[in-house]
Structure 1
Amino acid sequence: MKIFHYLIALLFINFTPEAFSQERPLRIIMIGAHPDDCDIKGGGTAALFVQMGHQVKFVSVTNGDAGHMKEGGGMLAKRRMAEAKEAGRRLGVTYYVLDHHDGELLATLPIRLEIIRLIRNWDADVVISHRSNDYHPDHRYTAILVQDAAYMVGVPNIAPDTPPLRKNPVFLYFQDNFQKPYPFKADIAVDITTVLDKKIDAMDAHESQFYEWLPWIGNYVAEVPADKVERKAWLKSKRIGAPNSAVLEALKTWYGETKVLNIKYAEAFEICEYGAQPSKEEIKRLFPMLKN
């Protein structure tokens, strides 16, 4: 009998109401047009989520089979898939690449249904993608596909082979610098200073892009160092800048005037009008790094 009472007491010690009330890990899905888009726009934020025990999935809607000056087709797609998997390993995220041709993406119903299924199967709390005003057609159509999925993820008769979500996720846009028809609005800004090296490490995995294709199309091939260590330092200086004035103002909102002085690098996101509309407290729940 004493043993029985001891076991019961042990159960109460280990399974307190507080233990039962622990929320499940947050589930974040970032959807980019190409392998490397999510790394560029949200890699630091993803690293922070993973560090805090939450789950992040990166999706590339195209397979990246056109973005190179020498390679192309299936061989390039395989290379970019391998790079994406390595980037995912370095960040601790799941990386998934859809098999649609790079540079040929359209906002079709079959692909919209794919996006709906991905969001549902991930049971997403937050969905982040491009804005629809962008220089690249694949970015624009990815944005439209995700926006078109925002309401439909909860409609049972759409893609009925996957259960509908019973809560609408918060949909967000990645930061960009385009001004028309309206500039990006930094509703949420995240300090990524402490994890910047992890973001750079993930970007570094996309060798075909950051050290070959983008320097070629941008006419700065001669700048790329041959040494791998020097390359990473160059990548950081080339691709990562300080927060602009709008992002700094958002950082002040979330971190306060004093802490902002120590923030060197940040990522920002705009709330899409089509998903759940979070309060400030809800944003802090969904972005727990903002509570500190």
Structure 2
Amino acid sequence: MRILSIGAHPDDTELMAAGTLAKYVEQGHEVVMCISCNGSQGHFEIPSAHLQCIRRREARQSAEIIGAECILLDLPDSGPWHTKEQRSLYTELVREVKPDVILTHYPVDYMSDHVETSRNTLEASFWAAVPLHLTGGQSTAHTHYPAVYYWEPLGGHNFQPSFYVDVTDQWEKKREMLLCHQSQYVWLRDHDGIDYVDFMAVMSHFRGLQCGVKYAEAFRPLHLWARSRAGRLLP
């Protein structure tokens, strides 16, 4: 299968789904990690133009750890959102990758970049398979609607998992991927008072306790017409 993750910022996917992506790769699937925003506002002191370069490098280093392709859409942090150009950009992404499964943010999250990335991903997963929906790009329409799974928001608030992925054997890779994002390790430590590696260890261990393993990541499927699938597509 071809797997596409779409996160708002560099490090978002790693926080909630790195173990799952690593497991997909280990099982022989192709993984593409897409990042919507350039991360230009995620620091106290580093100027935005320089920070974008740092975060691009960190994102690529993280993807390389599991052998995933990294695609950067380079949208600005904090919008503007809701544009036709953005919808075309996401639609063209799905047409280019032609995924069987998409992983992305839960529609209810703590900040707008996450919420709008989720919304744009949902719309693109439909329009990418409509041949007469024109984007100005060169990719052909997808042959089917991909299944969409939502990872949980940071902290797990108001999120009831439908599926768990055992990432016990992938935890060290997840940790290594998280540590690629040193700019964000410092930012979240100083701005939010958290060590995000410890934070993720606690969350993954809690989800693991719920399903009888040491570490797990949690997901909910998109249940809409043509998106629901029989059987399990998560690894």
TM-score by structure 2 length? Answer: 0.90
Identify the match of residue 4 of structure 2 among 24, 29, 32. 29
Q: Secondary structure at the match of 1:61?
A: strand
CA offsets 1:234-258 (integer angstroms, 9 cap, x no match): 754333224547x755x4xxxxxxx
Q: Which amino acid aligns with 1:45?
A: T
1:266 aligns with 2:216: yes
Offset, 1:111: 1.1
Q: Are 2:228 and 1:277 equivalent residues in the alignment?
A: yes
Counterparts in 2 of 1:166 and 1:201: CA distance versus 1, 3 Å: same
Q: Which has the higher contact order (CA 8 A, sep 6+)?
A: 2
Residue 214 of structure 1: CA displacement? 0.7
Change (3 A) 1:215 1:236: closer
Provide the C-alpha distance between the structure 1 equivalents of 2:223 and 2:35, rounded to a whole number of angstroms. 23
**Alignment match, 2:110:** 135
- Equivalent position amino acid for 1:193 in 2: T
Which secondary structure does the structure 2 equivalent of 1:267 belong to?
strand
**Where do 1:92-131 residues align within 5 Å?**
92-131=67-106
- Percent identity between the two aligned chains: 28
Q: Which runs of 4+ in 1 moved over 3 A?
A: 242-245
Shift of 1:165: 1.3
Question: Does the CA contact (< 8 Å) of 2:39 and 2:55 recur in 1?
Answer: yes
CA distance in 1, matches of 2:53, 2:94: 24
Please identify which structure carries the higher helix content.
Answer: 1
- Name the residue aligned to 2:122: 147
Q: Once superposed, what is the RMSD of the aligned Cα atoms?
A: 1.9
Q: Report the equivalent of 2:142.
A: 165
Q: Deviation of residue 131 (structure 1)?
A: 1.6
8 Å contact kept, 2:188–2:196: no
On the 8 A contact 1:133/1:178 being kept in 2, the answer is no
Q: Secondary structure, in 3 states, of the residue corresponding to 1:113? A: helix
Question: 1:1-292 alignment to 2 at 5 Å?
Answer: 26-159=1-134, 161-176=138-153, 177=155, 179=157, 183-210=158-185, 212-219=186-193, 236-241=197-202, 242-244=204-206, 251=211, 260=212, 263-274=213-224, 276-279=227-230, 281=231, 283=232, 286-287=233-234, 289=235
Structure 2: how far apart are the matches of 1:239 and 1:131?
17
- The residue that corresponds to 1:254 in the other structure is none
| Residue identity opposite 1:36 in structure 2 | D
Larger Rg: 1
Q: TM-score, normalised by structure 1?
A: 0.74
Deviation of 1:120 (Å): 1.5
- Number of residue pairs the alignment of both structures matches: 230
- Give the counterpart letter for 2:165 in structure 1: V
* 1:75 aligned counterpart, secondary structure: helix
Structure having the larger proportion of residues in strand: 2
1:91 and 1:199 in contact (8 A); partners too: no
The Cα offsets for residues 110-155 of structure 1, whole Å up to 9 and x where unpaired, read as 1111111111111100011112211111001111111122221211
CA distance in 2, matches of 1:248, 1:240: 12
Alpha-carbon shift at residue 178 of structure 1 (Å): 5.8
Mark the runs of 5 or more structure 2 residues left unpaired by the alignment: none
Q: CA deviation at 1:101?
A: 1.1
Match of residue 7 from structure 1 = none
CA distance in 2, matches of 1:66, 1:114: 22
Q: Which runs of 5+ in 1 are unaligned?
A: 1-25, 221-233, 252-259
SS at structure 2 position matched to 1:99: strand
1:105·1:141 contact (CA, 8 Å) conserved in 2? no
Which residue type is aligned with residue 219 of structure 1?
A: G
| Alignment CA distance shift 1:235-1:67 (3 Å) | closer
